[in-house]
Amino acid sequence: MIGLVIAILVAALLATGTYLVLQRNPLQLIFGLSLLTHGVNLLLFGAGSLKRGQPPIVLDKANFDGDISQFVDPVPQSLILTAIVISFGITAFMIALINRRNMLDKTTEACSNRNDDPFALSPADQPEVSEDDYEWLEDIVARQYKGAD
């Protein structure tokens, strides 16, 4: 029964996190990534069996002939701890990137509310692109390769 509750909770966290990541608001992106990492942590917790037992520490490894089935598996715990550290680092990095973008852009409004965002325009409103628009890029690439020789 507890496995079913964990599975439903993991599904809800992953679905909500995915929905928030797909939004264009930076704050919702951070919350979505946080929910995704919490969902993965619960998934790892649910995948490992929760049983009580001895810690997997053997003092005399050469002469040990006991039953290892009484030991607790440390792998799910270590994976969850690693996932927590990685999620903290990713969250801090995302906050730093969004802060830097806001400092450079001098605005805190969402991308979909801006008029200069080319992805916010419908396909009918997109400007026509001709081959002449990319000639400057060809010149830059040609100069870089010429300078590298």
> Domains in the chain, start-ordered, CATH in brackets?
2-51+72-148 (1.10.287.3510)
Let me know how long the chain is. Answer: 149
Could you tell me how far CA 79 lies from the centroid of its own chain? Answer: 16
Phi, then psi, of 61 in degrees rounded to 5 = -70, -30
pLDDT tier for residue 126 given thresholds of 50, 70 and 90: low
1-59 pLDDT tens trace: 788 899 999 999 999 999 999 998 889 999 999 999 999 989 888 887 666 666 777 77
pLDDT tier for residue 141 given thresholds of 50, 70 and 90: confident
d(CA 36, CA 86): 12
Please give the average per-residue pLDDT across 54-66, as a whole number.
Answer: 76
Selected residue with higher pLDDT from 11 and 114: 11
SS3 of residue 13 by DSSP: helix
Is residue 47 within 8 Å of 76, Cβ to Cβ? yes
